[in-house]
Amino acid sequence: MTPTVLEKIALAISGLTALTIGGFITTAPQAFYAGYGIALGPDASLLSELRAPGAGLAAFGLLMLLGLWRRTLLPVSAVVALTVFVAFPAGRLVGLALDGLPSGSVIAALGFEVAVAALLLAAFRHRLWGSSASVPDAHPAQ
């Protein structure tokens, strides 16, 4: 299955975003969260609890990007990207409902995540809801 140009763009944006943010959280959680106005102390347990999902997000970002070069990974990359970029806004919406309005930078992150999710849904809509014949393949099976 060969990715379309829009699918490549969507995977590149989602993969680079997840890899960069996940890597930043893993290596410098205090600096990352300070950008949201959240001050983290030197609590090793808290930092570990933040670094672990950061590493997971970075790994998912790498998996999203691998779908650009390995056609066999494209379906997995698409599912991972959609899962991450639908789940993050969903979690933020739960937070809005239960905890109230967060900072403007968190709302901006929500807006970006929704935009990436929309891009991914638009890019992979034919694979998700249409027949596989509707997506051109540059290398059809012989």
Number of C-beta neighbours around residue 58 at 10 A: 20
Global pTM? Answer: 0.87
What's the N-to-C CA distance of the chain in angstroms?
13
Whole-number pLDDT of residue 46: 97
- Report the half-sphere exposure of 53 (CA within 13 A, side-chain side): 6
Whole-number pLDDT of residue 39: 94
Whole-number pLDDT of residue 129: 85
Whole-number pLDDT of residue 127: 87
pLDDT tens by residue, 103-138: 999 999 999 999 999 999 999 999 888 755 444 554
Both tokens assigned to 137? 């393949």
Pick out the chain residues at pLDDT < 70.
Answer: 131-142
